[in-house]
Structure 1
Amino acid sequence: MDVLIDVFVGLHIIGIASLLGGFLVQMKAMGAGTARMVPAMLHGALTMLVTGVLLVGFNEMNDAMVNNVKVGVKLVVLVAILGLVYVKRDEERVPKGVFGAVGLLTVLNIFIAVLWH
């Protein structure tokens, strides 16, 4: 079970890298007001959702301690990210505030994962 958990942690990290990478690639365009939600951002967020839910399940099956409050907060942040990215995915230009919110929420989710023990 530990190997399976480790594989899904790696996939979860790949998802956050895709979401954050898609945001960082568009930062220059955000300054010009031409940023858009690239497919990598949506796919990364969906990967995070699926792998995160599976990780909680795998850890529960493995009798590991799961901080349900932390998981709940991360889930709420991720659902907000997914909502913004999904709704704006077909627009050619996304408002700076909306695009910046996705980046800020993504970074917030990373810091919650790393700093909340």
Structure 2
Amino acid sequence: METLRLILLALHLLSWAFVVGAWASRLRTPVPVAKGVSHAAAFALLTGLLLVGVREMDDLDVNHAKIGVKLVVALTVTVLAFVADRKADRTPVWMAHAIGGLAVVNVLIAVLWQ
């Protein structure tokens, strides 16, 4: 089970890294949002949920408040990314910054909330 958890964790971190990296690479011209950001955000959301499931199956402690906050942030990033994907070249600047900024917030919550 530990191997599965580590694989899921690596995929989860790589997905968020893609979202943050795509945002950072377009900070000067944040529109349009890079292709694949919506899929990376959705994959990060999925792997995050699977990580919680693996911890629950191993009867390990799970901070449900932290997971709830991270879930809301991840859902917001994913929805915004899919909306930005649909708008293509007409993506508002605030939406591009919200996607990247909230992805960073999600990573910071994971690291700093003990």
- 2:42 pairs with one of 26, 46, 50: 46
8 A contact 1:78–1:109 mirrored in 2: yes
Which residue does the alignment assign to 2:85?
A: 89
CA distance in 1, matches of 2:89, 2:68: 32
Instruction: State the partner residue of 2:113.
Output: 116
1:84 Cα deviation (Å)? 0.8
* Amino acid of the structure 2 residue aligned with 1:82: T
User: What TM-score does the superposition give when structure 2 sets the normalisation length?
Assistant: 0.93
Where does the alignment leave 5 or more consecutive residues of structure 1 unmatched? Answer: none
Deviation at 1:114, TM superposition (A): 0.3
Match among 35, 49, 58 for residue 54 of structure 2: 58
Is contact 1:19-1:43 (8 Å) kept?
Answer: no
Q: Which moved more, 1:67-76 or 1:35-44?
A: 35-44
Q: TM-score, normalised by structure 1?
A: 0.91
Per-residue deviation, residues 42-63 of structure 1 (Å, max 9, x unmatched): 1210111110111011000011
Matched residue of 1:28: which SS? coil
* 2:106 is aligned with 1:104: no
Aligned pairs for 1:23-42 (under 5 A) are: 23-30=23-30, 35-42=31-38
SS of aligned partner of 1:103: helix
**Root-mean-square deviation (CA), in Å?**
1.1
Which portions of structure 1, spanning 4 or more consecutive aligned residues, are displaced by more than 3 angstroms? none
Report whether the alignment pairs 1:6 with 2:2: no
Give the Å deviation of 1:39.
2.3
What is the percentage of aligned positions where both structures have the same residue?
A: 36
Q: Map Cα deviations across residues 66-93 of structure 1 (whole Å, 9 max, x no partner).
A: 1111011000001111111111103213
**CA displacement 1:77-111 (0-9 Å, x = unmatched):** 01111111111103213221111111211111011
Q: Could you tell me which residue of structure 2 aligns to residue 71 of structure 1?
A: 67
> Following the alignment from structure 1 to structure 2, what is the Cα–Cα distance between the partners of residues 70 and 87?
26
Structure 2 residue runs of 5 or longer lacking an equivalent are none
